[in-house]
Amino acid sequence: MTTGLGFVDRYGPWAVVAGASEGLGRAFATEIARRGLNLMLVARKEAALQQTAGELCEAHGVETAVLALDMGAPDAIDRIADAVGDREVGFIVANAAFVPIGQFSEIAPADLDQAIAVNCRGTLQLARRFLPPMAARGRGGMVVMASMAGLQGTPMLTTYAATKAFDLVLAEGLWQEFGKHGVHVIGSAAGAIADPNLAKVKTKRAPGTLSPDAVVSETLAALGKGPRVVPGRTNKFASVLMSRLLPRQAAVRIMAMNTKDLRAG
């Protein structure tokens, strides 16, 4: 029984954050370190990971390790497990994502495969590798970063949206299966997040845009309370409208209006 445990006792001592070099993943790593967990930071940009690792170590006195790899590579999860070694991982954040932007017919087939490899297979295999040992210990947690784009078809982000629908449904099943063993899984269907990458591809700030810190805080607060969180009040309202109240064709058309200014970054 894990009721009443603090963050470190419930989710420590080590967390793995996949996609930790910038943006939301870096914000997750920072908050998790602030709460006292040691961190294994994973992404492709090693220098950015090293810099974050150094800063977190100095600011919060936690241990850190970095691993530079492509989450879409077939051996990615084996390499993470090797790097983890005998460290006890009690928390994982599946945040890395690849976002092919544009008309479906103009996106290279290899990019479609990479979206599946990073956004679906990477998340799936992280869960498969690290959740069962947590269940055996009777505690732990996982954040599956998804998107409101995954609540319905989203033109110009068609493949990305489909991968995020996969992530949300995956998180729901895992929430039930592992919740019975004291492991909290949450799928976070974030709306627009204010970050440099969003600014690269979108000219106007979308309604309901949140800071990375706000998404992290609301997502972590939702652990153990249910299978899914939509951070932000505006986004919660929009998600009910889009997925429950409007006919599907209207929801998809609204998304098409919202994504028509997107351009490949």
Ligand X SMILES: NC(=O)c1ccc[n+]([C@@H]2O[C@H](COP(=O)([O-])OP(=O)(O)OC[C@H]3O[C@@H](n4cnc5c(N)ncnc54)[C@H](OP(=O)(O)O)[C@@H]3O)[C@@H](O)[C@H]2O)c1
Residue count at the site for ligand X (CB under 6 A)? 27
79 binds ligand X (CB under 6 A): no
Q: How far apart are the first and last CA of the chain?
A: 47
Interface region with ligand X, contact rule CB under 6 A, candidates 29-37, 64-72, 77-85, 131-139: 64-72
C-alpha closest to that of 35 among 118, 93, 76, 81: 93
* 3-state SS class at 183: strand
- Given a contact cutoff of 8 angstroms between Cβ atoms, the answer to whether 138 and 94 are in contact is no
Nearer to ligand X, 12 or 72 (CB): 72
- Given a contact cutoff of 8 angstroms between Cβ atoms, the answer to whether 189 and 227 are in contact is no
**Is 160 a catalytic site residue?**
yes
- Given a contact cutoff of 8 angstroms between Cβ atoms, the answer to whether 126 and 92 are in contact is yes
Active site residue: 45, 160, 202, 236, which one?
160
C-alpha closest to that of 216 among 17, 2, 4, 3: 17
* 3-state SS class at 7: helix
In whole angstroms, the minimum distance from the beta carbon of 28 to ligand X comes to 9
In whole angstroms, the minimum distance from the beta carbon of 109 to ligand X comes to 17
Residues 222-251 close enough to bind ligand X by CB under 6 A: none
172 binds ligand X (CB under 6 A): no
Q: Is 116 exposed, middle or buried (0-12, 13-18, 19+ CB in 10 A)?
A: middle
Q: Is 79 exposed, middle or buried (0-12, 13-18, 19+ CB in 10 A)?
A: middle
195 binds ligand X (CB under 6 A): yes
Interface region with ligand X, contact rule CB under 6 A, candidates 70-78, 79-87, 125-133, 220-228: 70-78
**Is 11 a catalytic site residue?**
no
Looking at residue 147, its amino acid is: S
177 binds ligand X (CB under 6 A): no
Nearer to ligand X, 23 or 182 (CB): 23
Residues 3-42 close enough to bind ligand X by CB under 6 A: 19-25
Pick the binder of ligand X from 32, 37, 89, 118 (CB under 6 A). 118
**Phi, psi for residue 204 in degrees, rounded to 5:** -110, 145
44 binds ligand X (CB under 6 A): yes
Nearer to ligand X, 8 or 252 (CB): 252
Q: For residues 14 and 4, give the distance between their C-alpha atoms in angstroms, rounded to a whole number.
A: 20
Q: For residues 84 and 136, give the distance between their C-alpha atoms in angstroms, rounded to a whole number.
A: 18
Interface region with ligand X, contact rule CB under 6 A, candidates 30-38, 170-178, 191-199, 229-237: 191-199
Pick the binder of ligand X from 53, 62, 71, 77 (CB under 6 A). 71
Q: What are the tokens at 176?
A: 């039930």
Q: Which residues bind ligand X (CB under 6 A)?
A: 19-25, 43-45, 48, 70-72, 95-98, 118, 145, 147, 190, 192-193, 195, 197-198
Q: Annotated catalytic sites, by residue?
A: 160, 164
